[in-house]
Amino acid sequence: MRIAARLLESLWLGSGVFILIAAPAIFRAAGSPTVAANVVGAVLTRWHYISLLVPVLLLVLEWRNVRAPVVALLFAAIVLASAQALVDVRIRAIRASSTVAISDLPREDPVRRRFGMMHGISSLLLVAQVLAAAAVCVVAPRES
């Protein structure tokens, strides 16, 4: 069971770190912000599955072994992942409702400002989830 848990923890942390590294690189390398946003959006969709399912699976796998700190971290990670998924849905709705690319809107446009705020919240939630995954990787083996 511990090997399966360690693999899941590694997948969770590794995929989160990958997104933190890859997203800015995609925006630098892509031909347009819209193409980059579509690619990162597709990657984030997969991340949402990982970030929601892995903490739940870890709770199930380790239920008898975990102690309060690990349970608290996993619960917090599930809440953060749920919040990020909801914010991502809102970001996609803003993009879909705009008649032009968000990057083509003037910086003072209310739609672009709302999009920027939601993007910032989403980024903070992603970083928090990666930190939670790292904490679980560090704390869980000691708790077992």
Question: According to the model, what pLDDT value does residue 142 have?
Answer: 59
Residues 128 and 47: their CA atoms lie apart, in Å, by 14
How large is the average pLDDT for residues 25-43? 93
Q: How confident is the model at residue 2 (pLDDT cuts 50, 70, 90)?
A: confident
- Please say whether the beta carbons of 95 and 118 come within 8 A: no
Inter-residue contact 99 to 127 (CB < 8 Å): no
Quick: pLDDT tens for 76-126: 999 999 999 999 999 999 999 999 999 999 999 999 999 999 999 999 999
